[in-house]
Structure 1
Amino acid sequence: MDTARRFSWSDARLRSTIWQVLVVGLVLAGIFWFVANALHNLESRRIASGFGFLASEAGLPIGEHLISYTPADTYSRALAVGIINTLRVALTGIVLASVLGTLIGIARLSRNWLLSRLSGIYVEVVRDLPLLLQLLLVYAVLQGLPGPRQALSPLPGTYLTNRGLYFPTLEVSQPVLLVFATFAIGVLASFAYTRWSTARRVVNGKRLPFWPVVLPLVVGLPLATSFIAGAEWVWNVPSIQGFNFRGGANLSPEYFALLFGLVVYTSAFIAEIVRSGILAVSKGQWESAAALGLSKGQTLRLIVVPQGLRVIIPPVTSQYLNLVKNSSLAVAIGFQDIVSITNTVINQTGQAVEGIAIIMAVYLTISLSISMIMNWYNKRIALTER
């Protein structure tokens, strides 16, 4: 009797289990049919399948690469260059868009009429124009810049031409690396001291000195290391030689246009998210902070923004993912990212299925990694009920 009731269709748990098994079975059957059908069509058309082509010589020229690469390298090396170029744009864009979007979002709430209106116009105009159109516009403007001999110089030692942005670089030696390492140690020590002093203040209510401790760690220690180690701070400044600049570093017009367009476009959405997150904090928090004698800057930094982050983080994560996916528009302005390089590989080898699978795997891995990091941070700052 109990057994019949346990396996009765009226049992909600049994129905749920059966439906889940059926759905999973249908999904697996669909995947199996798709793979089998694709392999059959490839075989009937005598198109080679598999990833063996990755070990073949690419013969593909790539203008920008952070790792060593020549056309004599393999397709796998070429795709690695494309992945690095995509990460280079995506990660740099996320940092710059976060900073710019936060500043514009705060500016929109400013009591300065001109600043708030200009910020509002920026957000509305940028969000209402397609990103592809903005990329093409920026790239066209860069192409219209003068040549190297008539280059624009917005900052000393910095030149903007139709061949890209040229800027000075620091010649790194062992003493200079030691100074940078000392600076990093000082920053970490200052952060640890700040957390410790805050915990002590909560316990006994006494404020410990901040700048007398932090300045020697962040400034004094690196300066002393530089003096003792004899670090020489030599800048490699670009200079015109022949028909182009030599020395320093440069950003190509394609990379600069893509990065600029992604940062400007994404920052407009982040600005609205930051503004809404700040407005989500109740007015009583501002009033309580004012009663405690905190300035508006301290109130924003210590009270409002930490609480607003709980509202800001989830939608900002979506914007980060959008920025990564929008970087695939690089193919429209000639920047060789993973999509552009894979398209060329597909045209050369005919391995369309494998090429598309590689692109999907790369973007899926990057997006899941960003989501995992942001979800971890969101849980870390979430309020815990007692």
Structure 2
Amino acid sequence: MRLSWADERFRAIIWQVLIVGVVVGIVWWLVRNTQHNLEVRRIATGFGFLNREAGLPIGEHLIEYTPASTYARALLVGVLNTLKVAVIGIVLATILGTLIGIARLSKNWLLSRIAGAYIEAVRDVPLLLQLLFWYTIMQMLPAPRQSLNPVTGVFLSNRGLRLPWIQWQDAHSFALLGFVIGVIGAILYVRSARAKRMQDGQPRKVWPAVLGLVVVLPLVIWAGLGAPWQGDIPALRGFNFQGGFSVSPEYFALLAGLVTYTAAFIAEIVRAGIQAVPAGQWEAAEALGLSRSRVMRLIVLPQALRVIVPPMTSQYLNLAKNSSLAVAIGYQDIVSIANTTLNQTGQAIEGIAIIMAVYLCISLSISLFMNWYNARIALVER
């Protein structure tokens, strides 16, 4: 490399140094300006407020929490509430969107038109209005004494949804851990059996081992640790239900709005991915006598995933970030709790920084996982 402007590499280094210098200068100016304004207004900074008592009531929490807990624990509850919406919403939206996308391509005229009408109607209405719509519906439901009871043990009222549950104990946690380990072991065993079959051509029965790992192992742990088998069935006591598993109206409305809205976009992604598979794949599979459902499940969808996964990542990120609209219907996620925290403490910069950091971590986690999965299913040239 020559130290001359005519050298392309020398020019590239100079431009990169200048750009980095400009960025660093802007960041330094913003930090200094913020510090000066805070000093002039005598506003204290720092995260010391996280150890103070919150005094903030939170209706839904996955971990133990009381108003006497610290702000740090209150914010942790908000993070878990956000993750509860994002993770379950992504799973349900993927299932619903895939089904609607397949229905959009159905040869059944009525089914295809219904799917198309759903996609167009839902995508054209702002998400905030849809959340308010679902929340209004939940508030218009009858009181607990006149609640809807479509299935035994399931009650739907303006207090939310009540479902049968189990009296969770440590034995259930160990059984669940055994199930997860069994699923991982079953996947590894199936892959090993498939690899050996590719080597010697000998088929191997995998279902006995899979059944033992996925079903028998958790049941043995369950029975061995003496986990109770009886369920916790909700029942009306006074003016509300007792027992069972409760889903609040705010959470139900938020989840329903996010799932139905995101599923409409996922349906179009799935439809485009399926149509990207060459028609010859369909014809070859049908020539082998495979049914249309098996062709879709075994041949078309695995190839369509290479087209579906990249844009699907964007929809997962949108769903996670759109969950911040929960504050509009009173669901206490990280945005709602952080807003209340900064109003009580006056630590606006720290509160906003916490919200940004949480959503940044969630988005990066989703992106890393989807990029890893996309690399796993990508075609590898030989």
Category of TM-score, reference length = shorter chain: over 0.9
Residue number in structure 2 paired with 1:352: 348
Say whether residues 1:326 and 2:319 are aligned partners: no
Task: Give the Cα–Cα distance (whole angstroms) in 1 for the partners of residues 269 and 263 of structure 2.
Answer: 10
Deviates more, 1:126-135 or 1:51-60: 51-60
Residue number in structure 2 paired with 1:160: 156
Q: After the TM superposition, which residues 1-386 of structure 1 pair with which residues of structure 2 at under 5 Å, given as runs? A: 6-172=2-168, 180=176, 183-184=179-180, 186-203=182-199, 205=201, 207-209=203-205, 214-215=210-211, 218-219=214-215, 232-386=228-382
Q: Which amino acid is 2:243 matched to?
A: G
Q: Is the 8 A contact 1:186 1:221 kept in 2?
A: yes
Q: Secondary structure of the residue that 2:246 maps to in structure 1?
A: strand
Q: CA deviation at 1:180?
A: 4.8
Q: Secondary structure of the residue that 2:162 maps to in structure 1?
A: strand
Q: Secondary structure of the residue that 1:166 maps to in structure 2?
A: strand
- Render the CA deviation track for 1:16-61: whole Å, top value 9, x for unaligned: 1111111111111101100110111111011111212112221111
Identity of aligned residues (%): 64
Task: Give the Cα–Cα distance (whole angstroms) in 1 for the partners of residues 86 and 360 of structure 2.
Answer: 14
Q: CA deviation at 1:316?
A: 0.4
Deviates more, 1:203-212 or 1:39-48: 203-212
Q: Is the 8 A contact 1:127 1:268 kept in 2?
A: yes
Q: Is the 8 A contact 1:148 1:243 kept in 2?
A: yes
Q: Is the 8 A contact 1:176 1:233 kept in 2?
A: no
Task: Give the Cα–Cα distance (whole angstroms) in 1 for the partners of residues 20 and 174 of structure 2.
Answer: 57
- Render the CA deviation track for 1:256-297: whole Å, top value 9, x for unaligned: 100110011111111111111111111111122223333222
Q: Which amino acid is 2:7 matched to?
A: D
User: How many corresponding residue pairs?
Assistant: 382
Structure 1 unaligned spans of 5+:
none
Q: Secondary structure of the residue that 1:240 maps to in structure 2?
A: strand
Task: Give the Cα–Cα distance (whole angstroms) in 2 for the partners of residues 226 and 69 of structure 1.
Answer: 29
Q: CA deviation at 1:153?
A: 1.1
CA RMSD of aligned residues (A): 2.2
Task: Give the Cα–Cα distance (whole angstroms) in 2 for the partners of residues 234 and 353 of structure 1.
Answer: 50
Q: CA deviation at 1:366?
A: 0.7
TM-score by length of 2: 0.93
Deviates more, 1:167-176 or 1:342-351: 167-176
Task: Give the Cα–Cα distance (whole angstroms) in 2 for the partners of residues 297 and 211 of structure 1.
Answer: 23
> Per the alignment, do residues 61 and 224 of structure 1 end up closer, same or farther by CA in structure 2, a change over 3 Å counting?
closer
Q: Is the 8 A contact 1:79 1:338 kept in 2?
A: yes
Task: Give the Cα–Cα distance (whole angstroms) in 2 for the partners of residues 229 and 342 of structure 1.
Answer: 41
Task: Give the Cα–Cα distance (whole angstroms) in 2 for the partners of residues 132 and 17 of structure 1.
Answer: 47
> Per the alignment, do residues 355 and 190 of structure 1 end up closer, same or farther by CA in structure 2, a change over 3 Å counting?
closer
> Per the alignment, do residues 242 and 359 of structure 1 end up closer, same or farther by CA in structure 2, a change over 3 Å counting?
same
Deviates more, 1:348-357 or 1:192-201: 192-201
Task: Give the Cα–Cα distance (whole angstroms) in 1 for the partners of residues 224 and 43 of structure 2.
Answer: 66
Q: CA deviation at 1:128?
A: 0.7
Q: CA deviation at 1:311?
A: 0.6
